[in-house]
A and B are shown apart, each in its own frame.
Chain A
Amino acid sequence: MVMTASGLFRTGVQDWFYQRVSAVVILLYTLMAISVAVRHPHMDFAVWHALFSHLGVKVMTILALLSVVVHAWIGLWTVTTDYLKCSCIRVVVQTGVIVWLVALFVAGSIILGGV
Chain B
Amino acid sequence: MSLNKQPIYLNLLKIRLPVMGVCSILHRITGILIFLGTPFVLWALNSSLKSPEHFESIVMDLQHPVMKFGIWVFLSAFLYHAIAGVRHLIMDMGAAEDLKAARCTAYGTLILSILGALMLGVCLW
Contact = CB atoms under 8 A, between A and B. Distances in A.
A52 B49 contact: yes
Contacts of B38: 68, 72, 104
A30 B86 CA distance: 13
Interface in A17-54: 20, 23-24, 27, 30, 44-46, 48-49, 52
A111 B55 contact: no
Interface string B14-47: 0000000000000010011011001100100110
Given A20-B92, A23-B89, A72-B35, A107 B42 contact: yes
Question: Interface residue tally of chain A, by bracket?
Answer: 20 to 34
Contact of B39 (A27, A49, A104): A104
Nearest to B46: A111
Nearest to B28: A79
* 7 nearest A-B pairs in the assembled complex, by CB-CB distance: A45-B55, A45-B52, A111-B46, A75-B31, A72-B35, A115-B49, A23-B85
Interface of B: 28, 31-32, 34-35, 38-39, 42, 45-46, 48-49, 51-52, 55-56, 78, 82, 85-86, 89, 92
Interface of A: 20, 23-24, 27, 30, 44-46, 48-49, 52, 68, 72, 75-76, 79, 97, 104, 107-108, 111, 114-115
